[in-house]
Amino acid sequence: MPADEKNVDSTTHPDLFMEKHRPQLHFSSPTNWLNDPNGLVWHNGVFHLFYQYNPTGNTWGNMHWGHAVSRNLFDWDVRPIALYAQPWGVGFMFSGCAVVDQDNSAGLAQPGDTPLVAIYTNCTTEGIQAQSIAYSADQGETWTQYEGNPVLANPGIRDFRDPKVFWHAPSVSWVMTLAVHDHVEFYTSKNLRDWRQSFRFARPGGSEAGGVWECPDLFALRAPNGETKWILVVSVSPENSSRDESIQYFVGDFDGVRFEPQHLRNLWLDHGADNYAAVSWEGIPAGDGRRIIIGWMNSWRYAKEVPTYPWSGHMTLPRELALVNGQDGYELATVPAREIEQLRVRTIDIPMAPAGSSKHEKLLGAVLPELLDIELQFAWKKGQARAFSVSFENQAGEKAIISVDIDANLLIVDRTSVGQRVPNPKLAGRFSAPLHSLGELLDLRIVKDRASVEVFADQGRSVISANLFFDSPFDRVVVFGEGEVDAGGRASILRSIWHDRQPG
């Protein structure tokens, strides 16, 4: 496929997006390798999604920036490559961000123009990482490299990457968070070209999970009591960790220079294995008021061995973030971006009844379990129920089981029987997320794509994301309760973002 292909869809390329495990709700590149989301910015009504991309192969390497745009976060148009690798120049285009330079502070645009500026890590063929910038005056369609690159040279550190930049109005400065081995460094600038280090943040003793920190993101959210709090998100490399979780976050205060967390207790954005390098969109209008985040739905433990072709890698659902009251401070809750409702083709009401009753069996038996948004509420009387579950099953005996252990206060996703023909045993797994103290009621939301589930429980306080590289397609949905458990809600059948796109 030509690298500059525009508006790729299934009508132009009928063989693409039809593959066995190809996601139908999540963004993936038409062909070739994809990993970290980059340059997330909203501008003039358009969400821009850039991403780490290898235009010449289905494995990591030869990093460019791919580019896609959307007005609703789900229907994506693939645009030309944005940033090209320069092996004999600054090097390869690693992860970074993009901002709208509203006042042309960098002096890169013509008078009257408002450029997009990408701030990214360039990595030379020798592996030296530094920070560079590029700019676009045509809504991100074409990009020009700044002649003075790099704007932040490497100080002699191996891991020195993944800048995320935003405008901090109170200090009248651009602020950059940068991943530096096992900590985050903060830099400030007035013009996006000259940067000064201002602060260093690290857990005492280094990263809790024992890995390299990557893809930091710092942003503000309104707390339940109305105060403004700041959230620092970091992805922790899973290579030296026994944990499944890899996206850690801290809630605290930021004054333009220093970030002070409310505590250093371990807080995880997602308790599944398949969410990494999550960062949020900049520039969403204040009238919208949302902070929306997206991650790479994969794991470095097996990303190079997933059974997909001619593409490799896709993104999570876009998710809305909110602060909620937690165990000993504020915590994050995440739910699918509300735009997913535009994908609903038909919604089936599921009346409250004993879990697994004939009513449920009849209603769900008519649903093809491929593209679904299931919202259920479970109710029980204390001491009269132990567990309940929703499972996706097929004739080959594979089961993806989403369950709740009431006694242990755990949400569980079990994919150990799925994809047994895949050679890497790490693709099997059983993942659990703590729930708040269960009373006698729990909401459970499951977004089921062709080969994945994203599970949101307790109003988004507990989240698990898991790919499902099945041997045979799932053909039924089963609800089950151990003890006296009632369940009810609705199941929405969703359209494909590639094959059933709406006009306009």
pLDDT tens column, 321-374: 999 998 879 999 999 999 999 999 999 999 999 998 888 888 888 788 899 999
Choose the most confident range, by mean pLDDT, from 242-246, 324-328, 494-498: 494-498
Output the pLDDT for position 11. Answer: 41
CATH code, residues 342-494 = 2.60.120.560
The domains of the chain are located at 32-336, 342-494
- Residue 196, pLDDT > 70, answer yes
Q: Reading across the β-sheet that carries 64-70, which strands appear in turn?
A: 77-78, 64-70, 46-54, 32-43, 311-312
Tell me which amino acid residue 397 is. G
Among the listed residues 9, 36, 217, 274, the single catalytic one is: 36
Residue 425 CA to residue 403 CA, distance in Å, equals 22
Choose the most confident range, by mean pLDDT, from 43-52, 475-484, 491-500: 43-52
CATH code, residues 32-336 = 2.115.10.20
User: Which of these, 448, 412, 450, lies nearest to 433 by C-alpha position?
Assistant: 412
User: Which of these, 340, 333, 300, lies nearest to 317 by C-alpha position?
Assistant: 340
For 371, phi and psi rounded to 5 degrees? Answer: -115, 100
Rounded mean pLDDT, 482-504: 86
342-494 shares the fold of 32-336: no
Question: Is 471 in the active site?
Answer: no
- Residue 168, pLDDT > 70, answer yes
- Residue 4, pLDDT > 90, answer no
* Residue where the block lists tokens 């994506």: 76
Share of the chain above pLDDT 90, in %: 81
- Residue 15, pLDDT > 80, answer no
Residues sharing a CB contact under 8 Å with residue 408, sequence separation 6 or more, in sequence order: none
pLDDT tens column, 459-480: 999 999 999 999 999 999 999 9
On average, the pLDDT of the chain sits at 92
Lowest mean pLDDT across 125-139, 294-308, 489-503: 489-503
Output the pLDDT for position 263. Answer: 85
